[in-house]
Structure 1
Amino acid sequence: MPERNIDFGKFGARGIKGSDAVARKLDELADGIVTPVTAKRGLMARLHYLTRTDHSRQAARDAGLTVSDRTLKAWLDEKRRPSSANLERIDAAYRQVRRHNVARHLLRRLNSAGGTRVEIHPLNQSQVPRPLQRLVEYRTMNVRRWDRIVETWASGDHQGLDDAWADVIVDLGSQWGQYEYVTNIGFAA
């Protein structure tokens, strides 16, 4: 892509990659358990989600939760408490399995009725010297095909998501490169 930013923030601009903002919003839409994994309630909810069926157990193993069935049973019976490293693995496995489980539902909702309206809030240039500031304004666009974006998000492919998002923002016209980094991207499903 010709307008990819190579040295973002050199003059003080602040923001995040648009694809990261999209991933953050999709995570927000897919998030189910809000209690932290360090709390008993959050841990138990995640363990029940990851162990209720043979399919979810296999998905948890594939996501990196590789403990024995005996250890899992001890955690569920509250006879033992997972280490902090295992708490992180449980949370990461939960997020990955949850993404996979809700991806199809999110995709259907985002693609329905001709797509979803997306609000793009430009990067923050308040720290950039006045002569170097660009005129970048708030934009909206309708994204009609979310298939590749949701697929790469669900699989955890950050580079693929970045490429998929870049293909979408090209529809903004000749100044699409100004929206590679943003302060926020908003949409609802």
Structure 2
Amino acid sequence: MPDRTNEFGKYGARGIKGSDAVARQLDKLAGFISTPISQRRGLMARLNYLTRTPHALRSARAAGLTVTDRTLKAWQSGQRQPSRANLQKIETAYRTVRRQNVARYLLQRLNSRGGTRVEIHPLNQSQVDRRFQRVLEYRTLNIRQWDSIIRAWAAGDTSALDDAWVDSIVDLGSQWGQYEYVSAVGFAA
């Protein structure tokens, strides 16, 4: 049985961790605000999302947005502009709260009808010397239980997400180690 990859890219292979590819796909499904926070419209959309209800504001504060209510109102009215550090805090809090809000919906959709089919595109070996290349092929896998993956993604816990992803790809059989690093992972909810 293969073990976890220790020296990825040693011979020139290119790709990303499968768990990172899954997180990117889940982020796409979450539907984040596309306007950058550096534009007034993007900033206002994020602030409105984070302050529209008392529950959302509590979640934003728990996610690291630790400014006073007075400062928030000044930002929303346009009297003051947040600093770069505060813009980063707003963006981080927004993404954290958005993930928490859509996690239950995504979990329900991905677990429905016996799970969701995942397409796994192998890593890029174009820069690897021929003698070190492995035979890799496009694979599909039906993941039936997304609970641990969604929980780790919503919490922003990359190591737990990586462990949950590896636990899922073990179903590929003895070749699962070849798909720990990939070029892309695709699925829909």
Range class of TM-score, shorter chain: over 0.9
Q: CA RMSD in A?
A: 0.9
Unmatched 5+ residue regions in structure 2?
none
CA distance in 2 between partners of 1:139 and 1:114 (Å) = 19
Which residue of 2 is the match for residue 102 of structure 1? 102
Shift of residue 157, structure 1, vs aligned partner: 0.8
Shift of residue 55, structure 1, vs aligned partner: 0.7
Tell me the secondary structure at the aligned position of residue 117 of structure 2.
strand
Which residue of 2 is the match for residue 165 of structure 1? 165
Which residue of 2 is the match for residue 66 of structure 1? 66
Structure 1 position 91 matched with structure 2 position 94: no
Total equivalences in the alignment: 189
Tell me the secondary structure at the aligned position of residue 117 of structure 1.
strand
TM-score (ref. length: structure 2): 0.98
CA distance in 1 between partners of 2:70 and 2:137 (Å) = 56
Shift of residue 31, structure 1, vs aligned partner: 2.4
Contact persistence 2:3–2:177 (CA under 8 A):
yes
Contact persistence 2:119–2:139 (CA under 8 A):
yes
Structure 1 position 52 matched with structure 2 position 47: no
Which residue of 2 is the match for residue 113 of structure 1? 113
Cα–Cα, structure 1 residues 136 and 2, in superposed 2: closer, same or farther, change >3 Å? Answer: closer
CA distance in 2 between partners of 1:53 and 1:92 (Å) = 18
TM-score (ref. length: structure 1): 0.98
Q: Which amino acid aligns with 1:69?
A: D
Instruction: Kindly report structure 1 stretches of 4+ aligned residues shifted beyond 4 Å.
Output: none
Structure 1 position 9 matched with structure 2 position 9: yes
Contact persistence 2:2–2:176 (CA under 8 A):
no
CA distance in 2 between partners of 1:4 and 1:37 (Å) = 38
Shift of residue 3, structure 1, vs aligned partner: 1.4
Identity of aligned residues (%): 69
